[in-house]
Structures are given as C-alpha cells and as structure tokens.
Structure 1
Amino acid sequence: MSFNIALSGLKAAQKDLDVTANNIANVNTYGFKESRAEFADVFSTSLFSNAKTQNGEGVLTQVVAQQFHQGSLLFTSNALDMAINGNGFFVTTDSPLSRDFTYTRSGAFKLDADNRLVTAGGDFLQGLPVNEDGSVKSVSLSTTAPIQIPDSAGSPSATGAVDMSFNLDSNAKALDPYKFNPLDTTTYTASTSTVIYDSLGNSRIASFYYVKVADPTTTNAAATVPGSGFDALPADPNDATNANSWVMFSTVTDDAGVQKKVDLGNDLLSGGAPDARTFSTGDPVGDPTSHTGMLLQFDSSGSPVASTFPVPKTEPLGTPLNVTITPPPTAPYDGASVVTNGANPDQQFNINMSNLTQFSSAFEITALSQDGQTVGRLTGISIGGDGLIEAKYSNGDAQAISKVALARFPNEQGLTQIGNTSWTPSRESGEALAGEPDSGTFGSIRSGTLEQANVNLTGELVDLIAAQRNFQANSRALEVNNQISQNILQIR
C-alpha cells in the first residue's frame, strides 16, 4: 500500500511540475491565463473500519484550475491591438458564416485580404451592428457579424447645404462696392471659403467676400442700371455714418480651377423691377456679365434685419454657374441656393447664414461646414473605450462601422480550453452572455494595448522549486519502501 501512496505523490508532483512549466512557457503569450494544480487526499473507509486509525491512501489531482485575473497591459502603436480592461471575452468564429463561437482575451488583431478583423490564427472578430450615430441596434450573439472595414467611403455625394455663422466688424472701413475685385484684397473687407463637391465627387472652392458699404439712402425702383438701391451713395464712402450694411459676393472655381462668379441675387425680377437687396458690378473675373452681390443689413444691436425677400427669377450667368435665392420670408439671409452647371446642371446647395452678427470685434467665422463629399480612401481606424470602431477616410468622413462584442460567463473557471488562448463554454461555465464594452459588468476596450499573460514568473519559479522538492521527497519515500521490502525478503 505504501508503494501506491508514494506513487500517487510522484504523480501529483509531476502534474504540479507540468502545470508550472506550462505557465512559464506561456509567460509571453498575449491573453494567456495561468493555471493552478489543486490536489486532494485519498481516504478510504468502510462500515467496519476504524476511521481513527486510517492513514489515508495518497493524493490525487482534483482539478487544474484556470486563474482569470487581469494581466498587465502592454502599450503598442497598432490601433487594431485591443485589450479588455475588466471582465469579458472577445467573441470569434472560424468562418464568416459560422455560429460556433469561441472566446479569447488575446486582442492581437489584424486585417485580412477582405479588410476583416482576424486573430493571428485567422478567426474572425465578431461585432454588434450599430446605427449611424454609433448606437447599438441589438445586443445578442445571434446578431453579431465579422467586423469588416470598408476601404472607401462609398459613393460621392453633392453638396446640399453650407452652414455659415460669422461676425462682421462694425468698425471696419466702408469701401466702394463698385470696385469689388476678388483678385484684389483691398476691395473687400473680409473673406472665407470652403470646399464643395458635385455629384461626381469633383471638388470646387466656394469663396465668400464681404464688403462694408455705406447705408443706401434711396431705393430707385425704376432704375435698371447695375447698383439698384445704391444710387444715392455718398461721394466718399468713408463719410458714411451708422454704416450697418454689407454686400456679400461669391465665386466658385470651375473644373479647371478658374474662379467663376456666383450671383447671390438677380438684377431683375420676373416683372422687370430691380431687386433693392442685390448689388451688381462688372465681373472682374472675366465674365462680361454683371457680378451680383447680396445686401446684408444689421440693426443697432448687431442682429440681421428681418425682411421679406421677393422671389427672383433664375437667370443663367454663363457656364458653369448660375444661382437663385429662395430664403424663408421671415428669417433673413437663409437659403441662398447656388446651382452649379456642368455634368449635373440641376445641382443646388443652400447657404444658411442665419446666425450673423455685426459687433465691434474682428471678423470671425464661428461655424462653417458643408455636407457633400468625394470618394474617400481609408486613412485610419479609431476604437473607443466603448468598443465603437470608426473608420476615417481621406475625404474627412468618419463612419461608425461596428462595436466590439463582448461575452461573459457565470463561471469562467468552467470554460474548456481549446488552444490558441481560446475557450468554449461547458456545462460548468454556463451559457455566454453578450454585452457592450464599458457597460454594466463588462470591461472597457483599450485600443493600442495588449493584455499580457497573468503569469507571475517569480512565483512560478518558486513553485517549480517546491514541486521539485516534493518530487524528490516522494521518490525518497518510494526508495525507503523498496528498501523495507528488500529487508523483509532477506529474512531467513
């Protein structure tokens, strides 16, 4: 019997050595979780035996328990490297259409030939579907799909709206609007520009110029000459007082990059009467037709003056541009609609300038944006702490692609190891519960970070020495038992 007891001790010591050696071997394996050999004594008794005198029958390996505490984080320069700071597992499958999920803590992901996120072993990282704003559509493992990053931002879209907000300096020097020339910076007070796109994704520069002028004193409704509404300007614009008027001009580059005029108003209404809220001057860019600006006026508080705009007719102003103004009747300076000619002569974009001010401060743009875009190529990926993956493109667009799916289990130590730092559920672990990163009991995602093995190398080396001593002691017990047996056999 003592031989069996010593032999069980040797087997237990060998198992302890094996587990410790495996931990040491995987000290540099990302996402690896150390194991611990747990033993129990063997004790047999019966109805007629005396338990007080029983000595036990050795030792057995009860379980090799995995330890799922957090490993240290290693920072990298790869945005696709991810670590879970807290509870949860990444969800992976071995094929895009598979529903056979495996779970891992190793976040060393990369892109395959189809721009899908995969592990080093080729398993596909699963993500939750999201809306355009990044909110999750459904939190369920059944709705997850392999995360794929589009390499382009889809089809180009024409600019449909430009939003501008700015302050015009009330102390600016009044200029002569008849001398406006976009090529001469001395003929206008301030300017700004933005990029717009047509339906084919071609970019153009839309520029806007602001000329401080003296307040018009009359509106000559019968006048048909350029400059309607400005016929009574003082001889010297600098002599004007209470000048709360500006004229806004605009140009847009054509396909060749040449500035072409854009009329922000029309000289004549359909009935032939001039529009007092527009101003015309000779086009200095090269087109012999007039260059029409739009009158912007402010009250003593610096707010734009409300007025009702007539609806002017649309007049062609030469290739490739023409314009019409269709603002709401009660909100001034909203909705200047620019029509670009060329491949799509019906393309329009609305200019929203409702948030204008004229204060005693420098010209300042407080908002300038447009909604068009050209075809964009993938330039980068960002992954937030909530697992939301956004793709950034060369056209400035950013799209929410997916959100990394996480899973947790009622009993992590019941998971079954399958290699490649992956696990599958078992009866002991319970079913997987899906969730979003950084919500509830789920940990957050750290992009550009890898979780290292949670192995304490110093502790493992000490355990290795202890297991070795244990093995030696059991070997010695076996040797003593053998010597006793030899002595018994030699009795005569």
Structure 2
Amino acid sequence: MSFSTALSGLNASTRDLAVTGNNIANAGTTGFKMARTQFADVYASSSLGLSSTQAGSGVRVAGIQQQFSQGNIDFTNNALDLAVNGEGFFTLNANGETVYSRAGAFGPDREGYVTNPQGHRLQVYPPLASGGFDTGRLTDLQLQVGDAPPQRTSRIEADINLPAASGTAPAVAFDPANADSYAHTTSLTVYDSLGSAHTASLYFAPTATPGTWDVHTVIDGAVTGAATQASFDADGNLLTPAGGSFVLPPVPQTNGATDLALTVDLSGATQFGDRFNVAALTQDGYATGRLTGIEVTPEGIAQARFTNGQARALGQVAMATFANPQGMQELGDTVWAETFSSGPALRGVADSGSFGAIQAGALETSNVDLTAELVHMISAQRAFQANAQMITTTDQITQTALNLR
C-alpha cells in the first residue's frame, strides 16, 4: 500500500510540474491564462462504511483549472491590436466553428478579413443602413473599403456680427471686384454632388436705411441671384429675412454634377458694436474621401476614417461571456470552445453591462506571475522528492522484513 500511495504522489507531482512548466513556457504568450493543479485525496471504499481507522490511499489530480484573471495591457500602436480590459472574450470564426479568445493580435489577410495569426476571423455585428448595428447576427469583419462618397452642400450657416455703425450706402452698384461697392465679406468652400470644390462668398453692403444690409452671394466669382436684405431691430437681433434664411437660385455645373442649390442661414447674425466679426461659418458638404486608417472605439465599433473627416462604421466587435469560464475547452493557440460545463455564450458588446472595454492599439499579456510559478516549482519538486524518498524508505522496510529469519 505504501508503494502505491507514494507512486500516486509522484504522479500527482509530475502533473503539477507539467502545469507549472506550461505556465512558465507561456509567460510571454499574448492572452494566455495560467492554470493550476487541483488535488484530491484517495481513500479505499469500505463495504461497511467504516473508515475512521483507514489510512489514505494517496492522491489524485482532480482537475487542472485555468485562471481567467486580467493580464497587463501593453500598448503596441497597431490599430488592430485589441485588448479587453475587463470581462469578455473575442468571438472568432475558425473555418465555420465559433471559438473564443482573449488574444487580440489581429491583422488583415489578403482578402481584407481581420484575422488572428491562426487565420480565425474576428466576428462583429454588421452595421444597419439606418444607424446602429444588427446584434441578432454575426459576420466576419472585412476592411475592404473604397473612397468615401462626397456630399453636396445644401446649407451655409453664417454666425456673424455686422457693425451697428454701418456707414453710408455704397455709391456704386455691387461688383465683387470693386471694394467700394460693399463693406465686408467672408468666404468658404462648398461642394457639388461630385465632390468638386467651389468658393462661395458673402458680401455685405449697408443700405440707406439704418440697421439694414444688402447680402450678395457670389459663387466661383459669379453673382448668384439678387441681393437679399438683412435687417436688425434696435437690440441688434435679426428681423429679416423671415426665419433667418434665404434660398439661392440653382447654380448649373459644367462637370456633370447636379445644380448647386444652397440655402443661406443667417439666424445667428447680429448687429452689435462697431466691428465686423465672423463667429462661425459652416456648410454641410464634403469632398470625396480617401481611407486614412482604421480605428476601434472602447465600445468595439470598428470604423474607417477618411481624408474628408468622415467615418464609416464597419461593424461592432461581438463579445461573449460564460457563466463558468473554467468549463470551457482549451483548444490551444489561446482559444477556447463552448461546452456544456461552461454554459452557453452570453453575447453583447464591449463597455456595457458586465463586458469590459476594448483598448485599441494594445494587447493583453499573459497573466502568469513568474515569481510565483518559480516558487511553486520548488514546492512541487520538494513534493516529488519526498514521495520518491517514501518509496526508498518503504523498500528498505520491505527488505528488512524479508531478511528476518
């Protein structure tokens, strides 16, 4: 009995050393989760149920349990390196099989799909045309994006202050080339339906009526429509045009674009003091945009950024948690599979509920504590040596008994 008891100790210590060695070997593996060996004592069963005077029969390995504690976050400056700061797993498509991982070293393959080094594709919730994401289905994240289409300018907003001391009305007809025909001007760039840029200028000329101005609009050097009158009350607030805006006649384009139809909004205009000031001058169009990069927000929204300042959502990273993560099946390559013991995957998005936030441009390192593992290695070695000594001692006792005459 002593031989078998000591042998079970040797086997258990060997398994423990193997687990410790695996932890140490993976101290630098991205997303790796350390494991620990769980032991259970062994007793021979008694048909009478009487075991108070019974010696133990050794030890067995009850299980090897992975520890899903948080690893450190190391920054890499690679936009597609992702780390989860908190609970949750990335969802991956491994040739049709759904697997899960904490290792976020992703990059595009030759078809533009975002994959890990093993070729497993990162799963996302696809974007909806109306905004938001379809959290009812998963799809592979793909980075194939062309230029961002332009948007035609339809509205100009000018928040300006015209000086109360407007001076006298110009003595000559308005001419953008004649500075004597107006008092103040400001310009901005607008875009047609093909994304071509045009210069739109607003010219302000005082009239003979105090508090009233003629507003002239010039596009690409050509006067567009008749002058519009802007008038202010005694407190400097805008009275006309009604509603604060006016519509310009369509401007035909020679490049095949649709006519440029603009509404000028002066609702933020005032007449205070004696200084002309432009507080804001904006328009709602933009040119064609070229891709400048990919970014992932803390909520896991992957979006493409373009030179025209626009962003296009490509999907939202699908996250998963489990009621019993230790019950997941280890598949190697720092990925796990769902099992009956783990419970079904609970899906969601990052930085919501129990899910941690995503840190882009960073990786989660292994959670192995090398110092603790080295200390544990010494303890396991001592246990192995003690069990080996137990076998030696038992052998000596047996030899002594055999030598009795």
Fold agreement, TM-score > 0.5: yes
Q: For the structure 1 residues 49 and 365, does the alpha-carbon distance in structure 2 shift closer, same or farther, using more than 3 Å as the test?
A: closer
Query: Quick one: which of 285, 290, 299 aligns to 1:386?
Result: 299
Q: Would the aligned equivalents of 1:190 and 1:363 in 2 still touch at CA under 8 Å?
A: no
Answering whether residue 76 of structure 2 is matched by residue 76 of structure 1, we say yes
CA distance, structure 2, for counterparts of residue 186 and residue 13 of structure 1: 97
CA contact (8 A) 1:131 1:400 kept: no
Selected match of 2:216 from 249, 273, 277: 249
The alignment's TM-score, normalised by the length of structure 1, stands at 0.76
Counterparts of 1:132 and 1:175, CA distance in 2: 52
1:390 aligns to what SS in structure 2?
strand
The Cα RMSD (Å) is 2.5
The match for 1:351 is: 263
What does the per-residue CA deviation read over 1:287-307, in whole Å, with 9 as the maximum and x for residues that have no partner? xxxxxxx33222222233336
Q: Among 172, 192, 197, which residue is 1:198 paired with?
A: 192
Q: Distance in 2 between matches of 1:68 and 1:446?
A: 18
Equivalent residue for 2:374? 461
Closer, same or farther in 2 for the Cα pair 1:166/1:121, shift >3 Å? farther
CA distance in 2, matches of 1:420, 1:17: 21
Give CA deviations for 1:4-39 in whole Å, capped at 9, x if unaligned. 111111111111111111111111111111101000
CA distance in 2, matches of 1:331, 1:113: 54
Please, which of 121, 140, 144 is the counterpart of residue 146 of structure 1?
Answer: 140
Q: Secondary structure at the match of 2:378?
A: helix
Distance 2:307 2:178 in 1: 33
- Counterparts of 1:485 and 1:36 in 2: how far apart (Å)? 36
Q: Any conservation in 2 of the 1:158–1:347 contact (CA below 8 Å)?
A: no
CA 1:210–1:131 in structure 2 vs 1: closer, same or farther (change >3 Å)? Answer: farther
Q: Distance in 2 between matches of 1:388 and 1:263?
A: 43
Distance between the aligned counterparts of 1:345 and 1:457, measured in 2?
Answer: 66
Cα separation, 2, equivalents of 1:173 and 1:466: 94
User: Contact conserved, 1:150 with 1:378, CA < 8 A, in 2?
Assistant: no
Q: For 1:193, give the aligned amino acid.
A: S
- Distance in 1 (CA, whole Å) between partners of 2:115 and 2:179 is 55
Q: Give deviations 1:136-181, integer Å, cap 9, x for gaps.
A: 33x33xx111122343344434333333333333345556273766
Deviation, structure 1 residue 397: 1.4
Aligned to 2:223: 262
Contact 1:133 1:400 survives alignment (8 Å): no
Helix, strand or coil at the partner of 1:297: strand
Q: 1:248 to 1:408 in 2, by over 3 A?
A: same
Structure 2, unmatched stretches of 5+, are: none
1:392-407 to structure 2, matched below 5 A, reads 392-407=305-320
Contact 1:160 1:370 in 2 (8 A): yes
- Does the alignment pair 1:105 with 2:19? no
Separation (CA, whole Å) in 2 of partners of 1:42 and 1:403: 50
Deviation, 1:392, is 1.1
Rg comparison, structure with higher value: 1
Secondary structure at the aligned position of 1:120 is classed as coil
| 1:359, distance to aligned residue in structure 2 (A) | 2.3
Q: How does 1:98-137 map to 2 (within 5 A)?
A: 98=96, 100-131=97-128, 135-137=132-134
User: What is residue 253 of structure 2 aligned with on the other side?
Assistant: 341
> Counterparts of 1:434 and 1:183 in 2: how far apart (Å)?
65
Question: 1:358 aligns to what SS in structure 2?
Answer: coil
Which blocks of at least 5 consecutive residues in structure 1 are unaligned? Answer: 217-242, 254-259, 266-277, 279-293, 308-329
Give the paired residue count.
Answer: 403
* Counterpart selection for 1:415 from 328, 331, 352: 328
Equivalent residue in structure 1 for 2:243, among 322, 331, 336: 331
The one-letter amino acid of 2:72's match is S
Moved more, 101-110 or 40-49: 40-49
Contact residue 172 and residue 181 of structure 2 kept, 8 A? no
Q: Distance in 2 between matches of 1:171 and 1:26?
A: 77
Per-residue deviation at 1:352? Answer: 3.1
- When residues 49 and 485 of structure 1 are mapped into structure 2, their CA distance, relative to the original with a 3 A threshold, is farther
Does the CA-based 8 Å contact 1:158-1:200 persist in structure 2? Answer: yes
Equivalents in 1 of 2:391, 2:102: separation in Å? 43
Percent identity of equivalent pairs: 36
**392-401 vs 409-418, which moves further:** 392-401
Alpha-carbon deviations, 1:109-140, whole Å to 9, x = none? 22222333221222111111234675333x33
Amino acid at match of 1:366: A
Alignment deviations for residues 230-258 of structure 1 (CA, whole Å, 9 cap, x no partner): xxxxxxxxxxxxx32323333333xxxxx
* Residue pair 1:165, 1:354 contacting (<8 A) in 2 also: yes
Partner of 1:35: 35
Deviations 1:33-67 (A, max 9, x none): 11010000111121247412211111110010011
Q: CA deviation at 1:331?
A: 2.5
- Amino acid paired to 1:474: N
Do the aligned partners of 1:152 and 1:393 also contact (CA within 8 Å) in 2?
no
Task: Supply the distance in 1 between the matched residues of 2:50 and 2:258 (Cα, whole angstroms).
Answer: 102
Once residues 171 and 248 of structure 2 are traced to their aligned partners in structure 1, the CA distance between those partners, rounded to angstroms, is 20
Say yes or no: does 1:303 pair with 2:237. yes
Counterpart Cα distance in 1 of 2:153 and 2:224: 18
The aligned counterpart of 1:233 is none
**d(CA) in 2 for partners of 1:80, 1:351:** 42
How much does 1:186 deviate? 7.5
What SS does the corresponding residue of 1:169 show, helix, strand or coil?
coil
In structure 2, relative to structure 1, the CA distance for the partners of 1:397 and 1:300 (3 Å cut) is same
Any idea what SS the aligned residue of 1:101 has?
strand
Q: Confirm or deny: 8 A CA contact 1:376 1:393 kept in the other structure.
A: yes
Question: Is residue 363 of structure 1 aligned with residue 330 of structure 2?
Answer: no
**1:454–1:350 Cα change, 3 Å:** same
How far residue 404 of structure 1 moved from its aligned partner, in angstroms, is 1.1
Distance 1:436 1:112 in 2: 24
CA distance in 1 between partners of 2:240 and 2:343 (Å): 68
1:124/1:146 contact within 8 Å kept: yes
Aligned pairs for 1:177-326 (under 5 A) are 178=172, 182=176, 188-211=182-205, 213-216=206-209, 243-253=210-220, 260-265=221-226, 278=227, 294-306=228-240
1:161 is aligned to 2:155: yes
The CA distance in 1 between the partners of 2:208 and 2:340, in whole Å, is: 84
Change (3 A) 1:28 1:192: farther
